[in-house]
């Protein structure tokens, strides 16, 4: 086997090791014992949260199943893609998935173009929904944002628009897939993002049922908005301040947000361990 043919496996292994290291660091710093005491009692929170977690990889699987007819095995690679993007560095998940597809070149003749198109369309769908959320949220954030924050928000929105416009203007040169496929992929991303936002609001509502579901929807929208604004420093702090201003300090909000982050890390770790064990068993058989 030549070095050129081995590089997808080497890259995949390196990214997997990086994921394990990132998970160990994240779990060590999250205070698992404290999170255990703050876990919600309602089982509906956990059931809904599972759907929130799987929304992204399942959405990607639907897309690549149609594009490449990938087997169910590809779902594991897409879960790793999500974990790498969140734990290692942005778009490292795309690199991992590209390496996975490249190693299966008999199944996927030219994976780079499709991976690139799906990634760009995911970002564009997120930008479109974020801009829509900005318009919807502006009437409700007057008491939360200072004039300097509004200016920062305006510049951030302008950058989001500026980032998206070149892909629309030069679409024929940027994208590889047919236009019909591109629109379908964009629609899947939009449905996934909207559905994930609603499901997360439901999960939080099940954890703290005294707070109206509409308030949670607004917080989920703010969470997505803050995470995508390019010029906002300390995004987690800004979102926490917005949430506390909207709900208050005494409603268990801080604990719930910490639990959400902690459970996500634990699911990441459990999946990586399961996939690694399965791969080890398969290689020995």
Q: What's the confidence (pLDDT) of residue 247?
A: 64
Q: For residues 114 and 67, is the Cβ–Cβ distance under 8 A?
A: yes
Give the whole-angstrom CA distance, residue 109 versus residue 250: 56
pLDDT digits (tens, 9 = 90+) for 82-109: 888 877 776 778 888 888 887 776 656 5
Angle, CA of 145, 147 and 151, to the nearest 5°: 95
Q: For residues 204 and 261, is the Cβ–Cβ distance under 8 A?
A: no
pTM: 0.80
pLDDT digits (tens, 9 = 90+) for 204-225: 889 888 887 777 877 777 777 7
Question: Mean per-residue pLDDT for 118-138?
Answer: 83
Of all residues in the chain, what percent are helix, strand and coil, respectively (each to 5)?
Answer: 80, 0, 20
Written as one string, the DSSP assignment of 137-160 is HGGG-TTT--HHHHHHHHHHHHHH
- 64-78, 160-174, 249-263: which has the minimum mean pLDDT? 249-263
In this prediction, residue 271 has a pLDDT band, given cuts at 50, 70 and 90, of confident
Q: For residues 78 and 71, is the Cβ–Cβ distance under 8 A?
A: no
Q: What's the confidence (pLDDT) of residue 132?
A: 81
């Amino acid at each position: 086997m030549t070095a050129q043919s081995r590089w997808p496996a080497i890259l995949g292994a390196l990214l997997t090791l990086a994921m394990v290291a990132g998970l160990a660091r994240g779990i060590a710093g999250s205070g698992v014992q404290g999170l255990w005491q703050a876990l919600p009692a309602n089982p509906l929170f956990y059931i809904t949260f599972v759907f929130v977690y799987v929304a992204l990889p399942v959405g990607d699987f639907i897309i690549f199943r149609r594009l490449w007819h990938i087997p169910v095995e590809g779902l594991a690679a897409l879960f790793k893609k999500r974990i790498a993007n969140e734990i290692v560095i942005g778009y490292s998940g795309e690199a991992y998935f590209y390496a996975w597809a490249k190693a299966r070149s008999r199944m996927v003749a030219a994976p780079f173009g499709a991976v690139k198109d799906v990634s760009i369309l995911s970002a564009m769908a997120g930008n479109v929904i974020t801009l829509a959320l900005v318009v919807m949220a502006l009437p409700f954030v007057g008491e939360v944002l200072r004039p300097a924050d509004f200016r920062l928000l305006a510049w951030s929105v302008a950058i989001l628009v500026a980032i998206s416009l070149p892909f629309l203007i030069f679409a024929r040169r940027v994208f590889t897939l047919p236009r019909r496929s591109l629109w379908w992929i964009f629609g899947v991303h939009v449905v996934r993002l909207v559905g994930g936002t609603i499901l997360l609001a439901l999960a939080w509502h099940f954890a703290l049922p005294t707070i109206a579901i509409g308030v949670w929807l607004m917080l989920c929208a703010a969470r997505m908005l803050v995470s995508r604004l390019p010029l906002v420093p300390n995004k987690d702090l800004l979102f926490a301040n917005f949430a506390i201003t909207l709900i208050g300090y005494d409603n268990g909000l801080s604990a719930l947000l910490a639990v959400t982050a902690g459970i996500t890390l634990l699911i990441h770790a459990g999946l990586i361990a399961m996939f690694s064990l399965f791969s080890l068993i398969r290689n020995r058989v």
